[in-house]
Amino acid sequence: MILYKTKYYVSKEAIVGTGLALSGLTGSIISAVDYMKTAKRISEDKNNKETKRLRDGLVKNFKKKNGENNIIEAPDYGNAAAISMNYFENFIKKMETNKDFREKVEKEAETNPEFKASLYLISHADLTRPCIVYDPKLFDPATMSHEIGHTEYYETKENKDKNKLVKFTHRYPPHISDADNQSGLITAPILGGITGVVQGISNGPGKLKNGLITYSSIDAILLMIRELAASKRGLELLKEAGATEDDLKVFRKMLLSAAGSYFFNNLSIIGLELVSAKTGSWVVNKLKKLIKRK
């Protein structure tokens, strides 16, 4: 009886969406844990000469290319990031034009490692070149190589001939779906819900072909291209820094797990968007029927 009834309420999209969301979530947790376990083990092994040698090699090569002050340690930052020239351009502009923002940054810089690092870089780094900020506590050579790998696709003179699509994925602005982090899991249902409501109003029942779901999928694909390219380049940089075949095996596996966590996160984002879009259009159509009945 229940099955018969639910036939009318649970659509194919909703079932597929829920499946994607759940399997994506599980997959991204498994991959992220796998990556973090190895990263933590390597980072905590401070006496490992090989790890230290590779990290120093990567930093040295980066400095040679981008300047002494363009890579800095930010203790307690809890993360590692490649920073594009655009970012600082916007950051400085905001500091100059928005008094509240400037005061907030200056005040919080005392305790917030991210702002502290940004202020340091603004006054010390060569801002025509990319920068790297990293937490020395967490930073293993693979992650560092990946972040530096990103900077090799920023718009600089020597990157002029690099793959155009990969460079585009490093530059394109509308990260609406936040596919590269967990906040995408919050944005997705909102985007999906809005899409569904718009669809419900404009199309009526059963016509769920919408731009935003496509947008999320495209965003996810562009993100995967960007991340895989950074890792591929990162592995080459590790080799240049003197990594052995055995080292590379460990790092390759780590970077694949990291890419896996992005991939599965994307699946759950697309799934969530699908479910919430369907729900949104379903609610609107129910309301339409109710109004008609009156």
Where does this chain bind Zn ion (CB under 5 A)? 227, 230
The CA distances from residue 194 to 5, 89, 187, 197, in Å, are 27, 32, 11, 5
Q: How far is the CB of 270 from Zn ion (least distance, A)?
A: 20
DSSP-assigned letter for residue 61: H
Q: How far is the CB of 25 from Zn ion (least distance, A)?
A: 20
Q: How many helices (H) and strands (E) are present in the chain, helices listed first?
A: 11, 3
Helix axis angle for 245-293 and 141-151, nearest 10°, is 70
Closer Cβ to Zn ion, 13 or 227, answer by number: 227
How far apart CA 3 and CA 290 sit, in angstroms, is: 25
Closer Cβ to Zn ion, 42 or 80, answer by number: 80
Q: How far is the CB of 259 from Zn ion (least distance, A)?
A: 9
Closer Cβ to Zn ion, 135 or 227, answer by number: 227
How far apart CA 264 and CA 180 sit, in angstroms, is: 11
Q: How far is the CB of 123 from Zn ion (least distance, A)?
A: 26
Q: How far is the CB of 143 from Zn ion (least distance, A)?
A: 9
Q: Find, among 261, 60, 254, 259, the residue nearest to 140 by Cα.
A: 254
Closer Cβ to Zn ion, 178 or 227, answer by number: 227
Q: How far is the CB of 282 from Zn ion (least distance, A)?
A: 37
Buried b (16+ CB within 10 A) or exposed e, 116-155: bbbebbeeebebebbbbbbbeebbbbbbbbbbbbbbbbbe
How far apart CA 131 and CA 81 sit, in angstroms, is: 8
How far apart CA 64 and CA 141 sit, in angstroms, is: 18
Closer Cβ to Zn ion, 142 or 275, answer by number: 142
Closer Cβ to Zn ion, 82 or 212, answer by number: 82
